[in-house]
Structure 1
Amino acid sequence: MINFNLLPYFLATVTVLVAIPGPTTVYISTASASQGFRFGVASCFGVMLATLVHVSLAAAGLTALLLASPFLFSAIKLLGAAYLVYLGIKAIRSKPAPSDTTSVSVPPAPALGESIKKGFLVNLLNPKTGLFIAAFLPQFVTPSLGHVPLQIVTLGLLLVLVGAVSDVTYAALARTISRALANRSRRPGIGKYVAGLLYMGLGVAALATSNGATK
């Protein structure tokens, strides 16, 4: 069982940290703005699943092994950056539907699963998420209470829930702003270029940054 005396401090810290936009936040907001709110939520779900994987690895001690290998860390980071750039190129090359006059065409319902997969891979291939979890969660673990892995998992679940609320809020705001801008835009299909450039910008930023942890 976790230390409930530390829980308020943990929740307060997490709330502040997840509210600061990071790569996954921008990714979810972009998906919501360019495809629709439900696709942003689907991307958020994929991000949550990947975070749970990172939490599980931290609880099992595997994240420490990953961080101990600079080569493996760099390889995963490179894969994540390349995937973001790929999503950007794919978004720009997509063809808008005939009725589209403002943004990327809305994918069919089955694409929701694709959004979940993309969100999962974007976060899974971000080793900084594992670094952050491995460094942050143990600060609120009380070894004297025993069951340290269970404490880490419990704190990780709380982190995922708070992060989900934050990301869904960003997705809703992004969609609202996107619609407002779309109503003023006269250039057909401009949304896909904005989305594509954002994705590629995230990929370049992921390659350019080597220190710190981002959500």
Structure 2
Amino acid sequence: MTNVSLFILMSVLLIILPGPDTGLATQNTLAAGKQGGLKTVLGSAAGLMIHTLAVTLGLSSILVKSAFLFSIFKYVGALYLIYLGISALWSMRKNPASIGEELPAGYKHKSHFLQGFLTNLLNPKVAVFFLTFLPQFVKPGGSAFWQLLTMGLIYTVLTVIWFFFYVHFINLIRAWMKKPSTQRVIQGMTGIALLGFGVKLALEKQP
């Protein structure tokens, strides 16, 4: 792998950009606390590892080249994000209790790990990103498989580290939010953000 330091720098800059993972981690941390946020992050990391394996095995290129498969992943992923956004808004509307009290009924039986996993896995933009970003740092003459796998692992670890601190920060803010009106505003904003990411993904064109 060439330019390791540049790869790490670029990865960090890309990871901290807000996206569906950020919106979902925020929403679940506000709704279920630090535990809910960290489970979401681990689910997202698991999704990244699946995308890493797909790139190393050449499966991502099939997805990108096939308009049919790309559309399936795109619309399923978009619908799932829209569903999460609507669920967040609905839970906020039905459960205006302040943060720190009993969890909203809509969150008691939800798997935050699965939410993070599916949000990442069903996003074809992640597959496209890995397919276009990682190969730029492959060293000619070396094993492309192991280099891509290593870069995918590094990117996943950096993602977990960033969101670990992010979730803890959001959890601290959550502890200060005692007013139901404040909670509703923040939950509403994250719900709308998830809806926006879903609509944006649905309108995404095949590269």
The TM-score bracket by the shorter chain reads 0.7 to 0.9
Which residue number corresponds to residue 84 of structure 2? 87
Q: Is the 8 A contact 2:70 2:206 kept in 1?
A: no
Which residue number corresponds to residue 199 of structure 1? 194
Q: Does 1:187 align with 2:187?
A: no
The one-character-per-residue Cα deviations of 1:55-104 (angstroms, maximum 9, x if unpaired) are 1000001100110012211221111110111122223333539xx33488
State the TM-score, normalized to the length of structure 1: 0.82
Q: Does 1:69 align with 2:66?
A: yes
Candidates 23, 27, 50, aligned match of 1:26: 23
- Cα distance in 1 between the residues matched to 2:171 and 2:199: 24
Q: How many residues align?
A: 203
- The answer to which structure has the higher helix fraction is 2
* Change over 3 Å in CA distance of 1:7–1:111 after alignment to 2: farther
Which residue number corresponds to residue 176 of structure 1? 172
State the TM-score, normalized to the length of structure 2: 0.85
The structural deviation recorded for 1:177 is: 2.8
What does 1:151-170 align with in structure 2 at a 5 Å threshold? 151-170=147-166
The structural deviation recorded for 1:197 is: 2.7
Which amino acid is 1:7 matched to?
V
Which residue number corresponds to residue 148 of structure 1? 144
SS at match of 1:187: helix
Which amino acid is 1:47 matched to?
S
Q: Is the 8 A contact 1:42 1:112 kept in 2?
A: no
Q: Structure 1: 5+ residue runs without aligned partners?
A: none
- Cα distance in 2 between the residues matched to 1:156 and 1:111: 33
- Cα distance in 2 between the residues matched to 1:201 and 1:70: 23
- Cα distance in 1 between the residues matched to 2:100 and 2:198: 22
The structural deviation recorded for 1:143 is: 2.8
Q: Structure 2: 5+ residue runs without aligned partners?
A: none
Identical positions, percent:
29
Which residue number corresponds to residue 112 of structure 2? 115
